[in-house]
Amino acid sequence: MGYRVTANLFLLLFLGVADNQVLAALIPSFVKSLGITVGAAGLLVTVYALAAALASFISGALSDHYGRRRFLLGGVLVFAVASWLSARSPNYPALMMARVLTGLAAGTISTCSIAFAGDWFPYAVRGRAIGLISSAYFAAPILGVPLATQIADRYGWRQAFLLFAALAVVVALSSLTLPGDQGTAESSASKLDSTARAFRSFLHRRDTAAALVIAFLVSAGLVGFLTYIAQWLNNQFGVATRTIGWVFMLGGLVAVAGAPFGGVISDRLGKRTVSIASNLLLAVSVAAIPLLSWGVGLLVVFGLTSLGAAFRQGPLTALMTEMVPPAQRGSFIALRNICSQLGIGSIAFVGGVLYQRHDYVAVTTLCALMTATVAVLLATHIMEPQPVGERA
């Protein structure tokens, strides 16, 4: 049963991540096909992210009371319909609405998948389980995005969304095998009140408040580094776009292999310990990148950044799922995801300003400091939790 749950949650995460990441690659197709500007096409990414954040907040809180499984099944079914509507969109407004619906579904899937894993897997093996599940974040750009873009290039962007619709149907059928979970017997008013109390406690507790700051810094530090590295490689060394794609492929392969391995090690050495070490490795590697010349050395260090990011994914997520009781887990993961989105949005703006004024080294310095701060907060504010409410 454990491997079946792992496989299903991996597929659910993979679906949402691949669909999200392919949007940027399809922007040129949207511009040409729909006769819109690049800015208007970029808004498709923005509304998707906002919808995902809203759905994360709502579904995470409600799943604490009504169970995760029904939200996962509902989310993937809505995702299939929304992807089909995206493929059938005759114009820009219709596509915009379809992407909002897709974002709502993807936000629900992302939050409830992690919360479900936290509920189902005992803390002693949760690092390995979430390491395997979260490798979907790194597998999507290697497998899903290239396949979708090849289909879009040959048959049009609408066919790429049909691919995701078909994949969502398959994943929905597979997800019917997920084990059931129990909702609470509280009244609606009591559920609302307990959710409000839970959110207040997350902000007032020293460790959970630090965990939310960590979520912001983790996403901002990694996304800022990755967002502007392609531009830097091209400007600094004249590296072609196709070659840059191979560099990212290398990083993705390292990450896919590293994420499960990091989870296994964290179950033995401690999630907090491995998370601290991984963030320190990532911080040093990110800081070193702009100091290197194009060649093998730079590729090796880039591989180390991927390894550090992948190694921390499982243990850090497992650690956060155990910081609150199971009845509050969905709400906490939802708030964590929102903080992550805020980090991504902030670094996209600040990183762009820094790059224009001070070049890439300013961006990587900020990202390295953010990542190092994660290690400090883990060491000073987070304790390795005692397992709470484990499933036998």
- 235, HSE (Cβ side, Cα atoms, 13 Å): 10
Two tokens, residue 336: 């964590």
Helix (H) or strand (E) holding 308: helix 296-321
Both tokens of 275, joined, read 């998370």
CB atoms under 10 Å from CB of 154, counted, come to 9
Calculate helix-pair angle for 92-120, 38-66, nearest 10 degrees.
30
The third-level CATH classification (topology) of the domain covering 198-381 is: Growth Hormone; Chain: A; (1.20.1250)
Write the DSSP symbol of residue 179.
Answer: P
Print pLDDT tens along the chain (392 aa): 577 888 899 999 888 888 877 776 677 788 888 888 877 877 787 788 888 888 888 888 888 888 889 999 999 999 999 999 999 999 999 999 999 999 899 989 988 998 898 888 888 888 888 888 888 887 877 777 677 777 887 888 899 899 999 999 999 999 998 887 655 544 445 556 666 777 788 888 999 999 999 999 998 899 888 878 877 888 889 887 668 778 878 888 898 888 888 888 998 999 999 999 999 999 999 999 999 999 999 999 999 999 999 999 889 998 988 888 888 888 888 888 888 878 887 887 788 888 888 889 999 999 999 999 999 999 999 998 765 444 43
Q: Residues with Cβ < 8 Å from 180, sequence gap 6 or more? A: 67, 69
pLDDT at 77: 96
Find the Cα–Cα–Cα–Cα dihedral 116, 119, 122, 128, rounded to 10°.
20
pLDDT of residue 22: 78
* CATH tag for 2-175 (out of 3.10.129.10, 1.10.10.410, 1.20.1250.20, 3.30.450.80): 1.20.1250.20
Tell me how far CA of residue 288 lies from CA of 76, 245, 297, in angstroms: 41, 21, 10
CA distances from 100 to 44, 103, 144 (A): 8, 5, 21
Residue 139 identity (one-letter amino acid): A
Polymer length in residues for the chain: 392
Q: What is the pLDDT of residue 287?
A: 97
pLDDT of residue 392: 38
* pLDDT at site 192: 61
User: Would you kindly state where each structural domain of the chain is located, as residue ranges?
Assistant: 2-175, 198-381
Task: Give the pLDDT score at 337.
Answer: 84
Domains 2-175 and 198-381 share a fold: yes
- DSSP letter at 290? G
Question: What SS3 class is residue 66?
Answer: helix
Buried b (16+ CB within 10 A) or exposed e, 282-300: bbbbbbbbbeeeeeeebee
Give the number of other CB atoms < 10 A from CB of residue 268. 11
Any residues with CB less than 8 A from the CB of 368 and at least 6 apart, and which? 221, 283, 284, 286, 287
238 backbone dihedrals φ, ψ, rounded to 5°: 70, 30
Cα torsion for 344, 350, 356, 358, to the nearest 10°?
-110
